[in-house]
Amino acid sequence: MTEIRFSEGPIQESDQDILSNGLELHGKQNNAPEYKKTRLNWMVYRDEQLVGALTADLLWDWIYISELWVDDSCRGTGLGKQLMAKVEEYAREQGVTGLWLWTQSWQAPKFYQSVGFEEFTRFEGFPKGHSRIGLRKTLA
């Protein structure tokens, strides 16, 4: 008998393996490029204390910036721009096509635009009264 089960939180590791393998096989059957994901991290410490970080994933020929954070004590010092310059430098060295990210309307869309990112999509009302914004910067 087939049954649909609902849960919240992470799924069992064995189920995740079956899911991932099934998606990978489907991709191969449809001539999709091999899925490779490499986690990239740039961490900034001051006196052994984390004060900034940029985390990203190298996915095929693009780098997805998943998190950029700068401690309040360092905001306005250029640290965020330095982190963005580091990921861009790495991307150029690796011959990556570009960088992309999601941000919210209350977060930092103007910051990303100030370092050369352009909006490619906007999801209005996510959440209500705000927008989720997709930004990218093509390098090649």
Instruction: Give the model's pLDDT for residue 140.
Output: 74
Per-residue pLDDT of the chain (140 residues; tens, 9 = 90+): 999 999 999 999 999 999 999 998 999 999 998 878 899 999 999 999 999 999 999 999 999 999 999 999 999 999 999 999 999 999 999 999 999 999 999 999 999 999 999 999 999 999 999 999 999 999 97
Q: Is residue 82 part of a domain?
A: yes
Answer whether 41's CB lies under 8 Å from 53's CB.
yes
CA distance 109 to 47: 30
CATH number at residue 105: 3.40.630.30
- Counted domains in the chain: 1
Instruction: Give the model's pLDDT for residue 112.
Output: 98
Domain housing 45: 36-138
Instruction: Give the model's pLDDT for residue 39.
Output: 97
Q: Is residue 58 part of a domain?
A: yes
